[in-house]
Structures are given as structure tokens and as C-alpha cells.
Chains A and B, each alone.
Chain A
Amino acid sequence: EIVMTQSPATLSVSPGERATLSCRASQSVSSNLAWYQQKPGQAPRLLIYGASTRATGIPARFSGSGSGTEFTLTISSLQSEDFAVYYCQQYNSWPRTFGQGTKLEIK
């Protein structure tokens, strides 16, 4: 099983600033990596797939990068609606695995 490790567990950032979230895979997942956003009481929402492609309707301030084992989600200028929990997920092999999440909170 591929273990996905996200860092940091909690990130405190001020609105308007940049946020950088990291995700590391225990073995290569190529570019088969997605990022999801989840707000309290809501289902996850797909943000990024293929490590760097924004899903339909996702604002350009969200960007993803990386391949192999190291991945990054960057939010260029945080808006109030961006404060949430973010999960990475690999879909390169079975079982599909998620990171433990990074909580992005208002500083």
C-alpha cells in the first residue's frame, strides 16, 4: 500500500497571502495524484488531477505541481472561502490512498 504523507498538518495563513501544501508518496505514483478540498459538513471537491490540471470550475489561484513522490498544492492569494481541509490522493495503484489532510486556517 502506498502511504501518502501531507505536511504540515495545520497551516495558518492570512487572507491574500500564498499557501503551499505538500504531499509525499511512499513510492512513485507518476502523475496520478489528485487534490481535494473539504469544508465542514460537506463532501470533498476535486481541485486538481493529474498532479497539475485544474478541475472544471476551479479558480486559477489553485495550482498543482510535482511528479513521482513529491507534490505541491499552491493557493496564490487566499480567499476567505479557501479555508478548509485539503487532501491528496494517489490513484496509481490499489488500494487508492489519501493523505491525512492539511487544515488551512485563518491566521
Chain B
Amino acid sequence: EVQLVESGGGLVQPGGSLRLSCAASEFTFSSYWMHWVRQAPGKGLVWVSRINSDGSSTNYADSVKGRFTISRDNAKNTLYLQMNSLRAEDTAVYYCAREVREAARPGSFDYWGQGTLVTVSS
């Protein structure tokens, strides 16, 4: 069965950095666009970033543009999110999610990881 397992979350001070990882298994990782979505405590889902299948194209939410970088290593079946200049408002559970695309059309997120908690606090 498809598995997405996030890691790398933790407590970090404002202005600090953190790198999240998402290990994928049981599917052809290199064929899928991947996303990061976050959820602040008690709040709703917010899309953060996406990367296409070969890593040549990315998009970011305005709130993280210039501070976060999404990347992937298809040889290691792993998605990354490098987070710099962290702020208190970045505190959230971060999920990685797989986008299902049919005939190159945009798609929904059919598989999600269990999430990793990032807490930005002094």
C-alpha cells in the first residue's frame, strides 16, 4: 500500500531553520507531483507548496515564498521542505500529499502522510 512518512519536525526558535522529509514507498514516486500542506493547531488545512514529478517546477503559497524551498530526490523516493526564517505563525502539523493527475490534468490529493509537528517558539 502507498505510504508517505514525514519526519524532521520539532521545536525551533523564531528565525531558525528546519528541513522536513517525506519518505515515499509502494508507488512510482518519480511519476507524481507532490505537495506540502500544513495545519495550525485547531485550524484548517492550508496548501504550502508543490513540486512536479522531475523537480523542475515548483509553486509556493505567498506566506512562505522566499523562505521555504521544496525539493525532491527521486533516487531516494523522498520529498523535502527546507524551512528558513521561521516565524511563530509557521507552527503547524506539516503533511506531505500525493497529487493524482490524469492525462496531465490537475488533480486532488489521494494519499497523505501522518504529518510532522513544527513548533516555532522561543
Contacts and interface: CB of A to CB of B under 8 A. Distances in A.
Asked if A pairs with B, the answer is: yes
A44 B108 contact: no
Interface stretch (B12-20, B23-31, B41-49, B68-76): B41-49
A45 B61 contact: no
Interface residues of A, number: 24
Interface of B: 35, 44-47, 50, 59, 61-62, 95, 99-100, 106-115
A96 B44 contact: no
B112 A91 contact: no
A95 B62 CA distance: 9
A2 B46 CA distance: 13
B110 A55 contact: yes
Contacts, number: 56
Nearest 4 interchain pairs by C-beta: A34-B108, A49-B108, A43-B112, A96-B47
10 contacts: A34-B109, A44-B109, A45-B112, A46-B108, A46-B109, A55-B108, A89-B45, A91-B107, A96-B47, A98-B46
Given A43-B95, A44-B95, A95 B47 contact: yes
A87 B45 contact: yes
Given A91-B107, A94-B59, A95-B59, A44 B112 contact: yes
B44 A101 contact: yes
B47 A98 contact: yes
B18 to A, nearest CB: 20
Contacts of A20: none
